[in-house]
Amino acid sequence: MLNSIRSYLTISLSVLLFAILFSCGSKSQKAEAILEPKSGSNVKGKITFTKEGNTMKVVADIEGLTPGDHGFHIHEKGDCSAPDGSSAGGHFNPKSMMHAGPDSPERHEGDLGNITADASGKAHLDITDSILTFDGESSILGKSVIVHEKADDLTTQPTGNAGGRVACGIINLVN
C-alpha cells in the first residue's frame, strides 16, 4: 500500500513538473513600440512584436499618415529624442548586409519594407518574419521603429530612398 502511494505521488509530481517546464518553454515573448510623431507630423501608433518559435509576428496599427506607402524600418538606436527622428541612427544592420525588401533572405535586420495607409491615413500590417529576434547581437530590443514619409523602393542603398522620418518608437519587452 505504501509503495502504491509513493508510485502515485512520484508519477503525479513528474507529470506536474513536466507540465510546468513545458508551459515555460512554449511561452511566447512580446515587445512593443509606441510611435510618437516626428518632423511635424501627426503620426502615431503601436507595433507589437511576438516571438513564436523561430519566427517573429509583427502587428502594426498606425494613423495620421498620408495615403500610400511608407518605409517601415527598425533603426539601430533606441533614441527618439530628435525632433526629426535622426537620433534613431540608420537601419539596424548588425550583419552588414545590403538594403533589400522584407522577403529577401539577405537584408538588414531592420528592413521591413513598406506599410500602406488608406485614404483616411490609417495603416495596418500583420506579417511574420524569420530574421527578427530578441536574442544576441541581432536583438531588436532597445532599438527603434521608424515610419518614413515616402515609400521604400527596396533597392536604393543604403536606405531605400524613403525620405524623412514621420514617427519613432522604442522597442521594449512587455509582460
The residues annotated with a catalytic role in the active site are: 73, 75, 91, 99, 108, 111, 148, 165
Residue 3: Cβ within 10 Å count: 7
Q: Residue 158 and residue 33: Cα distance in Å, rounded?
A: 24
Give the Å distances, CA to CA, from 166 to 2, 41, 73, 105, 124.
71, 6, 12, 28, 16
Closest CA to 112 of 135, 141, 84, 140: 140
Cell triple for 104: 529577401
Q: Collapsing DSSP states into helix, strand and coil, what is residue 157?
A: coil
